[in-house]
């Protein structure tokens, strides 16, 4: 079992890496907006688009910060690369591999299916691995929320 380093004293922790990438992404988005459009997009469509772009940038930078070690981050990175490639040359999309849902785990409420939909890349995993990935995904989501909150606090004061 890996000994967990203290993420606050470790300069290469996931939080630091995520923060770096996320800030870079936001900078790029800001520069893009300043170059192309008016400095203050007041209409709701622009704001919504910007919000979605920032959210996507957050997930992408978290996946990049985690690296290809985990199945869910690999799934997110794969999605990003497929989107990028599809923009350059349109390609037919392959269907996702559906893992068999074990009837012993299925409690009749569709929870396992719901969990597979929530965690990226969760369709093609067995239940035990799905639980592993969920644990790591929860940790990374929590770190992401904390960093974003801090950035928001810094930029608003």
* Token pair in block for residue 2: 């890996």
Q: How far is the CB of 92 from another protein (least distance, A)?
A: 15
Query: Does 5 contact another protein by CB under 8 A?
Result: no
Q: How far is the CB of 155 from another protein (least distance, A)?
A: 5
88 vs 82: CA distance, rounded Å: 10
Collapsing DSSP states into helix, strand and coil, what is residue 129?
Answer: helix
Site for another protein in 7-26 (CB under 8 A): 8-9, 11-13, 15-16, 19-20, 23-24, 26
One character per residue 30-69, x = contact with another protein (rule: CB under 8 A): xxxx--x--xxx-----x-xxxxxxxxxxxx---x--xx-
Q: Which is nearer to another protein, 11 or 95 (CB)?
A: 11
24 vs 27: CA distance, rounded Å: 5
Site for another protein in 70-129 (CB under 8 A): 77, 79-81, 83-84, 86-87, 105, 107, 109, 111-112, 114-115, 118-120, 127-128
122 vs 127: CA distance, rounded Å: 9
Report H helices in the chain: 14-36, 44-66, 71-88, 111-118, 127-156
């Amino acid at each position: 079992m890996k000994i967990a380093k203290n993420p606050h004293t470790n300069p290469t922790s996931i939080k630091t890496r995520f923060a770096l990438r996320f800030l870079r992404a936001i900078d790029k988005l800001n520069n893009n907006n300043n170059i192309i459009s008016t400095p203050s997009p007041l209409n709701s469509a622009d704001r919504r688009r910007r919000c979605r772009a920032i959210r996507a940038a957050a997930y992408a930078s978290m996946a990049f910060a985690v690296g290809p070690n985990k199945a869910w981050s690999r799934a997110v990175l794969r999605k990003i690369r497929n989107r990028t490639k599809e923009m350059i040359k349109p390609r037919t999309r392959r269907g996702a591999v559906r893992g068999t849902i074990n009837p012993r785990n299925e409690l009749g409420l569709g929870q396992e299916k719901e969990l597979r939909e929530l965690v990226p890349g969760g369709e093609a995993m067995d239940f035990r691995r799905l639980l592993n990935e969920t644990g790591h995904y929860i940790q990374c989501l929590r770190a992401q929320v904390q960093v974003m909150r801090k950035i928001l606090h810094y930029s608003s004061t």
